[in-house]
Structure 1
């Protein structure tokens, strides 16, 4: 086991130990902690920027009744990482409060207010309430050891393409492109052989990293935007706690056509205008920083879930 694998294993072990240990702590302990946090919650509620973030994750209107059917309590067997992430916020509130939860890659909008990891960006998505779920996979960031100028002036991408036509288009169009290192991994796709695995740090050797959605969002988007490389991608269709729907093309990332026909053109432009590229990278880094304050993240999630209980008529 190499050092990155060992570090990941230790991180996962610590995550599950903490999650299991919290299960045996009485609710009264978390109820008291919630009261101690009330002043901080009130302060966040008075911050227009953070309040806008809460209202973006939970678009239900307090004062309007949004009824929900009774739902059984989720268990670790429904998806342990989702469960422990959900319970990290849920256990602060009265266990008798009802909450609809849908784990996994959610691509549709539920018919009742439901806690989800992901939702469609377009349309009326009020019934999809975002919490920071599956964070062990989606919010794993890495320190970039390379300055933008030191990186190879190429675009890179690796990923599974088997059932995803939008990823297949990328491989078909740019597998043999000398301006790119693009390929399927870990499995081959048709005549396109699988390319060697590249870790996030390996991919950071390139100036341009492609972020292509999978079943819902692109898992690599967060660490790309935290790096010194420039993120290139089509306009996102789904969003998570990372609020992909708030990203602005030409400010936080470079937008590509869905057929990727303009990839060479985009690379040429930013090779000729490196200052523009570095400005976008700086904006992306600044966007990521709002998710790095762990205490603030906890408080925002508490406000999102508290608003859920109020909007469904369960809290005054």
Structure 2
């Protein structure tokens, strides 16, 4: 087993929490190793159309791609951004963390990958807000690689250049955003059956030990 954030494919088969989506990733055998932190589904009673027409983003903006987003959109009228860690070069970015419930006042929630997957994606997809993110590069037990752009989430370009266009479109077409929300809700249902999830995990382990000749 390889603990922590896995951003490369192991040389030999190993149990991992996350893996790259692209390429031959068969040696990286996914298991739900961080269930408490990552698999957090919520209840949201606020209808999409009553929420603020703004993209909310609160996370640690220390990776270069996250910093780049802040450089482009911090202070933008369509965005409410804050980094929960202090950046000496940009102290104005700092903001205290806010609760998940406070995020739910906004129609759009930014979900940028960090070292690997974005931790907040699961609970966003269980809410009545919409996740906004580029095409994911990493996946976990949640099968981020199976998510369909503009069907399960709002996709933006890797350089973030089409953010305004995408937000304006879904503000002007709330019925399209609500379709995405419904699709996201349907997607997460498969992870809510704990008995089935445990059974699948057990079968994955059994197959892993069999294929690697380790036995149980």
TM-score with structure 1 setting the length: 0.66
The aligned counterpart of 2:50 is 150
The aligned counterpart of 1:110 is 10
What is the CA–CA distance in structure 1 between the aligned matches of 2:35 and 2:203, rounded to whole Å?
18
> What are structure 2's unaligned runs of at least 5 residues?
none
The aligned counterpart of 1:173 is 72
Q: Give the one of 10, 15, 30 matched to 1:130.
A: 30
- Contact 1:208 / 1:232 at 8 angstroms: preserved in 2? yes
State the Cα deviation string for residues 28-64 of structure 1 (Å, max 9, x = none).
xxxxxxxxxxxxxxxxxxxxxxxxxxxxxxxxxxxxx
State the secondary structure of the residue aligned to 2:131.
Answer: strand
Equivalence map 1:1-316=2 (5 Å): 101-162=1-62, 164-188=63-87, 190-191=89-90, 192-314=92-214
The aligned counterpart of 1:30 is none
Which is helix-richer, 1 or 2? 1
Aligned length: 215
What is the CA–CA distance in structure 1 between the aligned matches of 2:99 and 2:145, rounded to whole Å?
27
What is the CA–CA distance in structure 2 between the aligned matches of 1:149 and 1:188, rounded to whole Å?
35
State the secondary structure of the residue aligned to 1:155.
Answer: strand
* 1:157 CA drift (Å): 0.4
What is the CA–CA distance in structure 2 between the aligned matches of 1:250 and 1:131, rounded to whole Å?
27
What is the CA–CA distance in structure 2 between the aligned matches of 1:146 and 1:275, rounded to whole Å?
15
* 1:149 CA drift (Å): 1.3
State the secondary structure of the residue aligned to 1:102.
Answer: coil
State the secondary structure of the residue aligned to 2:148.
Answer: coil
State the Cα deviation string for residues 202-254 of structure 1 (Å, max 9, x = none).
11110000100011000000000110001110000000010001111021111
What is the CA–CA distance in structure 1 between the aligned matches of 2:129 and 2:26, rounded to whole Å?
34
State the secondary structure of the residue aligned to 1:290.
Answer: helix
* 1:145 CA drift (Å): 2.7
> What are structure 1's unaligned runs of at least 5 residues?
1-100
What is the CA–CA distance in structure 2 between the aligned matches of 1:137 and 1:145, rounded to whole Å?
22
Which is strand-richer, 1 or 2? 2
What is the CA–CA distance in structure 1 between the aligned matches of 2:83 and 2:17, rounded to whole Å?
26
- Contact 2:61 / 2:85 at 8 angstroms: preserved in 1? no
- Contact 1:204 / 1:229 at 8 angstroms: preserved in 2? yes
Distance 1:102 1:126, change over 3 A: same
State the secondary structure of the residue aligned to 2:93.
Answer: coil
